[in-house]
Structure 1
Amino acid sequence: MGVNFDLNDLQAFRAVVELGSFRKAAEAVNISQPALSRRIEKLEAALGVRLFERTTRSVTLTTIGRVFAPSAEQLLDDLDVALLGIRDVSTSRLGHVTIACVPSVAYYFLPSVVAAYHSRYPRIRVKLLDSSANDVLGSVISGEADFGVSFMGSQETEVEFKVLLQERFVAACRRDHPLARKKQVTWSELYEHEYVSVDKTSGNRLLLDQALTNVAPAAPSVCETRHVTTMLGLIEAGLGVAAVPSMAMPMRDHPILTSVPLVDPVVTRRVGIVRRRGRPLAPAAQQFYQTILDTKRSGMVRAAKKTST
């Protein structure tokens, strides 16, 4: 038996799901509210189920509606993938993209990317999953995220890793700290001062442990954190110094924090885009992917400049 609904009905359904309102959904797809209601009723009749619970104040998905929503989204994304070579994602298109990202990149680099993307595609929602490198990789492999931005994944067979840039680790300190007057700092010199470190669950900790097998701190850190951004807050409060990726540092004109290159050895990490191997990106995600590449090429990635600091 044929299913008596069409693409317009699915698009109306997605609009209501994403906007949570029949009125806003009708405006988004440029039809009247009664016409949108008829599309939803047609879809519900074709499926033989109620997809929404409607009151005068709210619209919520039924249990079956919640089950159906991902399938409807996938159908529309698959169609967009098929049409991607024929037309661009229009500025009037509704949709969403989910990006997993390590916090240091999410805090200092991605805001400019999201801003550029939103100005071009204002109706597409962006969801950022800022988490550890291991969690970023897991989100990409599981499909929770369309793709990720991280420094881990180049050795995984299930994903592709496209390098964006290589950055070095630097010593983060307050401008009134003795190390701030130096042109460069060795790791041994860094560890002569009270310092903050990331804990063993951090991908940065694994990278540093592998690179610094011949450098032994004289004393344990005064504090451990899970994320670099938290560590910088502790440094700003005067808790000591820390080794951080250059991208994690705030702008050069920050009134309190500064950084000094770390040497003996120079430790670097490669930051790249992680995506599932053999699976095309949905158009909204593809456009976000391209915006990252365009941002990098335009010189907006501050970390690329800081590697020569």
Structure 2
Amino acid sequence: MSPRDIEIFRAVMTSGTTARAAQLLEISQPAVSQAIQRVEAHATLRLFERVRGRMVPTHEANVLMTSIERYFVGFETVEHVIRSLGSYRHGRLTVACFPALGNCFLPRAIAGARLDSLGIQLSLQVMSSREVQQKVQSGSADIGLMASEMSPSGLEHSIFSSLPGVIAMAPDHPLARRTVVTPADLQSDHFISLNAEDVARQALEAMLARDGITLRNIVETPYSITACELARCGVGLAFVHPIAAVDFIARGLVIRRLSVDVPFRDQVIFRPGKPLSGHAKLLLKLLRVQLDHDCKQVQAALKSRKSASRSG
């Protein structure tokens, strides 16, 4: 059994048919079938059931695939290093970022940075905090931005931001007339919650529970940007990351300060023993400049009573 046979087996597992695997690898379908036969013969196991033209993997095939995926992750890491070395003079960087900052904040920062004039080529990959951690650990990303619920153990890390969460609502919501929202006010409407594993949500609910306050949860979402849009559309109140709310303020979203601070903490991570390049340090500096700018926008929105006056 050769490494090529393993690659063909993986292609069949991911595509579901020998025809698609052949197309993916640009080889003939008989060559795919022969490779699968060699793998099965070497393993002395039946790895696929043939059902209506599809290759349905057996339990043994799925176990084997788990080990093979680990092999390919290592191989893809090597490829990433080679690409990075090949384009090093161009300042190529791969940044993995969780959605609260990756979907709106990073595009704003990139737009204002003029990367071409700085000699930076950027690959921006938006994914869950868990995936960000894995990307940086494997060496597939140079810099990672993730939420605080993920442990940075084994990685170089620092706090990127620690900001009090804000209450988001539609412009005609009665609470828009306030400058500050109290925990008791949160019972006045349906509530849009972040996922149960979100650390900020857990801290908010623990604080409310001490006061005997229960939220009227109506929608749960893992993303602050989704919660912002739901709140803007009048679905209910939402407790969100303030930086995620910035793009929605111009579209009518109202944000208000909560009378108690419940922070969203974000961290920047990178691999130990691998000093950040000059381009990476420059990019982080630009991100912090954008963060400072966005924080000022958030503060201005929190002080504004323009939306509230329209409601009154």
Q: Cα deviation per residue 1:266-300 (whole Å; 9 max; x = unaligned)?
A: 2113333222233223454344233324545xx42
**Match for residue 271 of structure 2 among 252, 266, 276:** 276
Alignment partner, residue 22 of structure 2:
none
In 1, distance between residues paired with 2:163 and 2:76? 43
Question: Residues 224 and 160 from structure 1, CA distance in 2 versus in 1: closer, same or farther, beyond 3 angstroms?
Answer: same
Alignment partner, residue 115 of structure 2:
118
Tell me which amino acid in the other structure corresponds to 1:303. Answer: C
Q: Is the 8 A contact 1:166 1:304 kept in 2?
A: no
In 1, distance between residues paired with 2:85 and 2:217? 51
Matching of residue 167 in structure 1 with residue 159 in structure 2: no
Question: Residues 209 and 280 from structure 1, CA distance in 2 versus in 1: closer, same or farther, beyond 3 angstroms?
Answer: farther
In 1, distance between residues paired with 2:78 and 2:205? 46
Q: Secondary structure at the match of 2:246?
A: coil
Give the CA deviation at 1:101.
1.6
Matching of residue 183 in structure 1 with residue 179 in structure 2: yes
Q: Is the 8 A contact 2:169 2:238 kept in 1?
A: yes
Alignment partner, residue 64 of structure 2:
none
Q: Is the 8 A contact 1:192 1:218 kept in 2?
A: no
Tell me which amino acid in the other structure corresponds to 1:72. Answer: I
User: What is the number of residues matched between the two proteins?
Assistant: 228
Alignment partner, residue 303 of structure 1:
295
Give the CA deviation at 1:216.
4.9
Q: Is the 8 A contact 1:132 1:203 kept in 2?
A: no
In 2, distance between residues paired with 1:144 and 1:134? 14
Question: Residues 188 and 141 from structure 1, CA distance in 2 versus in 1: closer, same or farther, beyond 3 angstroms?
Answer: farther
Question: Residues 69 and 155 from structure 1, CA distance in 2 versus in 1: closer, same or farther, beyond 3 angstroms?
Answer: closer
Matching of residue 108 in structure 1 with residue 104 in structure 2: yes
Matching of residue 228 in structure 1 with residue 224 in structure 2: yes
TM-score, normalisation: structure 2:
0.61
TM-score, normalisation: structure 1:
0.62
In 1, distance between residues paired with 2:148 and 2:77? 33
Q: Secondary structure at the match of 1:266?
A: coil
Give the CA deviation at 1:75.
4.5
Q: Is the 8 A contact 1:170 1:260 kept in 2?
A: yes
| Gaps in structure 1 of 5+ consecutive residues | 1-52, 54-64, 81-92
Query: Percent identity at matched positions?
Result: 25
Give the CA deviation at 1:245.
1.8
In 2, distance between residues paired with 1:129 and 1:67? 15
Q: Cα deviation per residue 1:17-63 (whole Å; 9 max; x = unaligned)?
A: xxxxxxxxxxxxxxxxxxxxxxxxxxxxxxxxxxxx9xxxxxxxxxx
**Match for residue 72 of structure 1 among 79, 82, 104:** 82
Question: Residues 191 and 119 from structure 1, CA distance in 2 versus in 1: closer, same or farther, beyond 3 angstroms?
Answer: farther
In 1, distance between residues paired with 2:182 and 2:105? 27
Query: Which has a greater percent of helix?
Result: 2
Tell me which amino acid in the other structure corresponds to 2:286. Answer: T
Within-5 A mapping of 1:29-178? 69-70=79-80, 72-73=82-83, 75-76=85-86, 93-94=89-90, 96-115=92-111, 116-121=113-118, 124-152=120-148, 156-178=152-174
Give the CA deviation at 1:259.
0.6
Q: Secondary structure at the match of 2:179?
A: coil
Give the CA deviation at 1:118.
1.6
In 1, distance between residues paired with 2:77 and 2:170? 52
Give the CA deviation at 1:194.
0.8
Q: Cα deviation per residue 1:71-90 (whole Å; 9 max; x = unaligned)?
A: 5335557xx5xxxxxxxxxx
In 2, distance between residues paired with 1:237 and 1:160? 40
Matching of residue 292 in structure 1 with residue 287 in structure 2: yes
